[in-house]
Amino acid sequence: MSLLIKNGLIVTSDTQYKADIYVEQEKIKAIGVNLNFKAEEVIDASGKYILPGAIDSHTHLCMPYMGTYAKDDYKTGSIAAACGGVTCILDFNTQRNGETLYEALERKKSLAKGNTAVDFSLHPSITEPKDKIIKEIKTAITDYGTPSFKVYMTYDFRVDDSVILKLLAETKKYGGMLQVHAENFNIIEYFNNTFEKQKKLSIPYHPKSRPNIAEAEALSRVAKLAEITGGNLYIVHLSSKEGLEEVKRAKDKGVNIIAETCPQYLILDESRYFEPEFNGAKYVMSPPLRDKQSGEALWEGIRSGYISTIGTDHCPFDFNGIKDMFGKNDYRKIPNGAPGIETLMMLIHSEGVAKGKITLQQMVKILSVNTAKIFGLKNKGSICPGKDADIVIFNPKIKFNISYKKLHMNVDYNPYEGFDIIGMPETVYVRGKKAAQFKNDRVEFVGEIGRGRFIKREPSF
Ligand code: DUC
Ligand code: ZN
Ligand code: ZN
């Protein structure tokens, strides 16, 4: 399969220029002005941006959670990804009781096998940090191709500081990285117990039980653990202004700390929890949506470079029958999570670039270039000869009104329902093959299920 894309505006992390791109055998072969390769498909991309496919650094496909399952599996989740311009997914792989990291990896890979439309990799999520698991980190980095590991500081499967110290030290030895969900468990428990006694268990108490300071405290502590060990620390889903201040403090001191945020913390805010008829349950996620000042601070964090990546924390649960049934009278029982994989690129463009909050270059940097570098995806993340032809032809003029009915995520609502979007992924290529096409009023999946590959990643540090 060969492809010639003519006259598009190629966007990199620091510039943009008009040129043609020639693609052959899944790779970008050449970039130049007036290329005259003979190709099976020739596209005129005048007036459109040529972007590297987005890499979603944070998804929870098929994840068992709070008595149910995240509703997107590899098939529906990767179709949605392709339609949103996400050409590679980094999915969490939570270790089950008694499993080695290898067993967990093989279990999750088997769910993906033959079912995936875009490429993917896995972050082992360590819940049983026994000695033999800590020893396995070396092999996971050098053989399995999974150099990023996740731990939680809250929930039943949390780990304590002594484990975090060991994991930071061990991952660092082989150039790996520790990803941390940073929220202080005891602060959350204190508020949960207080609100229970006061019979304050309606939805607005969900954000009150997990205040900004619970994130900031955990984050400042884990940053110090990274400082002590010299380890490579990655903060997942940074959500608050106070948390960002801790990231800045640590980074300015020379700590190896990388921060990721999510569209929901940039765009939505805690007023959503007051929506009538239990609708606030749609936004119950952890960390919760924050105050408006936090959202503005996070955009500034992207502009200043303290925030390096954006992931979606895609973890959808239906509203009807799941969110509105579990925990009707108790916010603590509402499955935490929301859909996001398909709306990532359109939202960051429409709410970020089109509104002047970030530049097109900054968008490419946080959605693709940085993510590929940080996570060791050496063939992905930019429009350059030799890289995989994961390409989005992005039309900045297309208008789209968000409705869950027009999206592919397997869930019955969308947190951004009714948003007017400007600019959409018009045509999406996964390793040189068309996977999605905007037609009439929506993006259609035209790719191939099963084409997505597990990508072995390399350590980046
Ligand atoms: N937070 C969520 O909202 N869902 C999945 C896991 C998490 O940490
Ligand atoms: Zn998390
Ligand atoms: Zn998550």
Q: Which amino acid does the sequence have at 62?
A: C
Q: Give SS3 for 408.
A: coil
Rounded Cα–Cα distance for residues 430 and 447 (Å): 8
Pocket of ligand 1 (CB under 6 A): 60, 181, 285-286, 313, 315, 336-337
Q: Give me ligand 2 centre to Cα 400, in Å.
A: 30
Ligand 1 atom nearest residue 155's Cα:
8
Q: Give me ligand 2 centre to Cα 332, in Å.
A: 16
CB-CB contact of 436 with 448 (8 Å): no
CB-CB contact of 281 with 323 (8 Å): yes
Query: Residues with Cβ < 8 Å from 143, sequence gap 6 or more?
Result: none
From the CA of 65, which ligand is nearest? 1
Q: Give me ligand 1 centre to Cα 39, in Å.
A: 45
CA-proximal residue: ligand 1, atom 8 (nearest): 286
Q: Give SS3 for 63.
A: coil
* Interhelix angle 161-173/131-139, nearest 10 degrees: 30
pLDDT for the residue 326? 87
57-70 in b/e form (b: 16+ CB < 10 A) is bbbbbbbeebebbb
Classify 339 in phi/psi space as left (phi over 0), alpha (psi -120 to 50) or beta. beta
Ion ligand 2, residues whose Cβ is below 5 A away: 181
Mutation pick for ligand 1 pocket among 209, 237, 272 (CB with most ligand atoms within 8 Å): 237
Ligand 1 atom nearest residue 60's Cα:
5
Structure tokens at 233: 């620390």
Mutation pick for ligand 1 pocket among 65, 94, 157 (CB with most ligand atoms within 8 Å): 65
Q: Give me ligand 3 centre to Cα 294, in Å.
A: 19
Condensed to tens digits (0 to 9), the pLDDT of residues 170-204 reads 999 999 999 999 999 999 999 999 999 999 999 99
- H or E stretch covering 233: strand 233-238
CB-CB contact of 376 with 352 (8 Å): no
pLDDT for the residue 55? 99
Query: Residues with Cβ < 8 Å from 41, sequence gap 6 or more?
Result: 1, 2, 3, 4, 434
Q: Give me ligand 3 centre to Cα 180, in Å.
A: 10
Q: Give me ligand 2 centre to Cα 7, in Å.
A: 41
Question: In the structure, how many helices (H) and strands (E) does the chain have?
Answer: 13, 19
From the CA of 313, which ligand is nearest? 3
Structure tokens at 431: 């390793």
Q: Pairing mode, if any, of strands 257-261 and 233-238?
A: parallel
Q: What's the whole-model pTM score?
A: 0.98
Ligand 1 atom nearest residue 285's Cα:
3
CA distances from 438 to 187, 424, 441 (A): 46, 8, 7
Q: Give me ligand 3 centre to Cα 237, in Å.
A: 7
- H or E stretch covering 358: none
Ligand 1 atom nearest residue 65's Cα:
5
Domains and CATH numbers, the chain: 2-51+383-445 (2.30.40.10), 53-374 (3.20.20.140)
CA-proximal residue: ligand 1, atom 5 (nearest): 337
pLDDT for the residue 1? 85
ω before 287 within 30° of 0 (cis)?
A: yes
Tell whether the torsion through CA atoms of 155, 94, 116 and 84 is positive or negative. Answer: positive
Query: Residues with Cβ < 8 Å from 130, sequence gap 6 or more?
Result: none
Q: Pairing mode, if any, of strands 27-32 and 257-261?
A: unpaired
Residues of the chain with pLDDT under 50: none
E strands of 37-101, at which residues? 41-44, 49-52, 54-59, 64-65, 68-69, 86-94
E strands of 262-358, at which residues? 309-310
* Residue (of 59, 446, 23) closest to 237 by Cα position: 59
Q: Give me ligand 2 centre to Cα 181, in Å.
A: 5
CA-proximal residue: ligand 1, atom 7 (nearest): 286
pLDDT for the residue 327? 85
* Residue (of 373, 370, 376) closest to 358 by Cα position: 370
pLDDT for the residue 170? 98
pLDDT for the residue 54? 99
Phi, psi (deg, nearest 5) at residue 169: -70, -40
Tell whether the torsion through CA atoms of 146, 148, 153 and 159 is positive or negative. Answer: positive
Rounded Cα–Cα distance for residues 33 and 40 (Å): 19
